[in-house]
Structure 1
């Protein structure tokens, strides 16, 4: 099912970017994430994936602007001005990076759908946490015109929607 989550129809002059699934699994609306900070849109607009595998992929094309020391989150900046946070698992910062192997460096350019690392879902669950992967446009209120996402089963690295930045 395809759903427009934010904004209105944009003209062709705006910077459109494809969204890619960050992991194999099922794409769900952000509102269904079992963490109120994400579900209530506190950090921005986006979507999540309930993973069925551990390989991780870049959800957009952009430049890496932050890799958390615990490797549980990455920030990407797109040329169109959108800032995207990729968050691996819920409440996983206290795991000190143990379940994650991120193969990026600060300042690196990534392609949407590019393989960027691995997350051990078993270690996350063994710690009593959920491995839900969240993609959030953190500056959506100022810079996002439209976000369209295909909900349901997905394959990591494959297109699942589109972002349109405000012009």
Structure 2
């Protein structure tokens, strides 16, 4: 019996370690990713969205907020600069919004609004020109590129302090990446 308990403890430890190492996100992130995938399929029927680590969301939050938890004056500019760094082979989009009252569909829609583009003929496409690094994405030796099919969502909730320091509000930072591929 003792051996069975030890084995079970070891297995559970392994499962927990794998979930951390593979970047399995929160339930909310997985649900938002599922909803976002459905929305992106309107523009790309092969689109998939997986939940990645919180690394890019954390990077964006750090760029957007001060040490005392307030929004930076130049939050959007800072986020764009932070997310461009090291992402020349993939498109990067971001969205941040207040968390209160948002269900998973609302969250996914806020993110999709930053990615999807409605063309003049009414068709919906992946708005690579809306990516923060659209001018810098490339594939060596390829000149006609587009966003691929595999999108990765990095999402995290964070708290912002009001300018007077008296109240706090919960926000969500979402960063989506997609590798560039040759447009054949």
TM-score, scaled to structure 2: 0.27
Structure in which a larger fraction of residues adopt strand? 1
TM-score, scaled to structure 1: 0.29
Structure in which a larger fraction of residues adopt helix? 2
